[in-house]
Amino acid sequence: MSKLAELKKRLSTVWDLRSTSSLLSWDQQTYMPPQGSGPRAQQMATIDRLAHEILTADETARLLDEAATELNGAADDSDEACLIRVARRHYNRGANVPGSLVEEFSRTCSLAHENWVEAKRSSDFPLFAPHLEKIWELARQIAGARGYQEHPYDALLDEWEPGTTAAEVRAMFDEMRPRLVALVKRIRESGVNLDASALHQRFDLERQIAFAKFMAEEIGYDFNRGRQDISAHPFCTSFSAHDVRITVRYFERFLAPSLFGTLHEAGHALYEQGSPPQFNHTPLRGGASLGIHESQSRWWENLVGRSRPFWKRYFPKLAGFFPEQLHGYTVDQFYRAINRVEPSLIRVEADEVTYNLHIMIRFELELQIMEGKLAIKDVPDAWNDRYSEYLGVSVPNDGSGCLQDIHWAHGILGYFPTYSIGNVVASQLWERMLEDLPNVDELVENGQFKSVLGWLVEHVHSRAKKYLPKELVQKVTGEGIQCGPFLRYLETKFGELYALDR
């Protein structure tokens, strides 16, 4: 057997174990009975440990070196060369962090999670603070063990957005911040108030589910290789390109989460279903990074799903599902309802314009904590000050302030920038697609998504995880990641909706 074949065999064991762990996690979040959580946590920990041990063993390092020698001379972008590069990144990230530190981090986060739930419920930040302190202290140690070139934050960010640095994110936000803050201000002062009441009525849940599945199928989600279930927090997960699942959350008195949650998660799922089958069981399967993944979900949720052409076609169909509720509303009223801008406290409910301001605040605080410039006890004040400065809202309590998201309690640090990178990259890709499909509005209005999806498959999905996110964007658009297209998109769309040029 060649060394490359031996390496592939070894890696397939690691990635099969990881997929199995993901399947257990999917089950936990959908159908597992409540009392199953204790034993399930142990089962998943066992599988994760086995995968980690095989990945970080000396044998893996030896095979990586030998296979690289064997491949000497292969093109840089060949599947084999990319496989070795990606596998080496995974190996390095895991092998340099002592197992005892990984275990302590995981234990600390479990405990923190319980306390966060209670702290959030009772808006009691001091209850959570000691746990958060410990999490950041361990994260600093992990960053040190992994190594970094410029900033310790880079070592955390690299896990989600390989090859991207805090300095690059900071530069992106520095460009975005003044234009977004100005746009929010102009919208607030426009005197225009978009009426969203169409979305706030009683909508039968079974019908919502049926419409959500219909929409997902329309844009190209293949239910022979997927399924749609319900969970408290919507997500997409996959175990191969042949089994990609999404979950959605439904509210009886608010229609938007099921519509846009479905398009969002189906966007993630299309990316996974577009991953070439030969990459199953390897580290090349799936998406380039969380940011690129988010570019795909936001593409379908916002660029397609919150557009006028989309609802010209689908509003009459939606009204067929809900004739009583939507009788009397026009497409245009509906389009305005789903695009209402309102600075708010909660990131997950934010509109397209204010969304990235939430991310910026989180990123700025994370950087300051990492640098030791912000003490954990001062996080609520720093949080509230920025919400008032960037969004013009005052935070009534920490439950709807700095305790709102689960990420910190799970030890997921350096993650938030990927949401903004996704928004930015989606618009860059869209501008590039317009060169090939200038009639995209017409295609969307006629429900002809094959060519739109086909474009994404050709330029993004088929490349799976072969390239770093910035390499991928460079290959597709000829440029690095930049926010110009995204800002232009927002200013044009919301300039029209809020009559800002009058």
Cβ 494 to Zn ion shortest distance, Å: 22
Q: By the 8 A CB rule, do 242 and 280 touch?
A: yes
Q: Do the Cβ atoms of 155 and 101 come closer than 8 Å?
A: no
Q: Which stretch binds Zn ion (CB under 5 A): 45-53, 196-204, 290-298, 459-467?
A: 290-298
Residue 297 or 339: the one with the smaller Cβ distance to Zn ion is: 297
For residue 422, the minimal CB distance to Zn ion (Å) is 7
Contacts 24+ apart (CB under 8 A), 173-176: 173/356, 173/360, 173/363, 173/364, 173/420, 175/483, 175/487, 176/356, 176/360, 176/420, 176/483, 176/486, 176/487
Q: Which is nearer to Zn ion, 352 or 398 (CB)?
A: 352
- Candidates 182-190, 292-300, 347-355, 474-482 — which segment interacts with Zn ion by CB under 5 A? 292-300
**Site for Zn ion contains 247 (CB under 5 A):** no
Which string of DSSP letters, residue by residue, matches 55-67? HHSHHHHHHHHHH
Q: What is the closest distance, in whole angstroms, from the C-beta atom of residue 268 to Zn ion in the complex? A: 6
Q: Site mask, Zn ion, residues 296-335, x = CB under 5 A?
A: -x--------------------------------------
Say how far apart CA 454 and CA 471 lie, in whole Å: 21
Q: Which stretch binds Zn ion (CB under 5 A): 70-78, 115-123, 291-299, 456-464?
A: 291-299
Interface with Zn ion in residues 450-489 (CB under 5 A) = none
Catalytic residue among 161, 265, 272, 352: 265
Chain centroid, CA 398 distance in Å: 24
State the minimum distance, in angstroms, from the CB of residue 402 to Zn ion.
Answer: 22
Identify which of residues 56 and 302 has a Cβ nearer to Zn ion in the complex: 302
Catalytic site residue 118?
no
Q: How far apart are CA 469 and CA 481, in angstroms?
A: 9
* Site residue total, Zn ion (CB under 5 A): 1
State in angstroms the smallest separation of the CB of 296 from Zn ion: 9
Distance CA 472, CA 467 (A): 6
275 binds Zn ion (CB under 5 A): no
Q: How far is the CB of 323 from Zn ion (least distance, A)?
A: 32
Cα 190 to Cα 168: distance, rounded to the nearest angstrom? 33
Distance CA 315, CA 148 (A): 50
Residue with tokens 């960053």: 143
The per-residue DSSP string of 321-349 comes to HSHHHHTT--HHHHHHHTT-----S-GGG
Going by the DSSP 8-state scheme, the letter that residue 372 receives in this structure is T
The set of catalytic residues is 265
The residue ranges that bind Zn ion (CB under 5 A) are 297
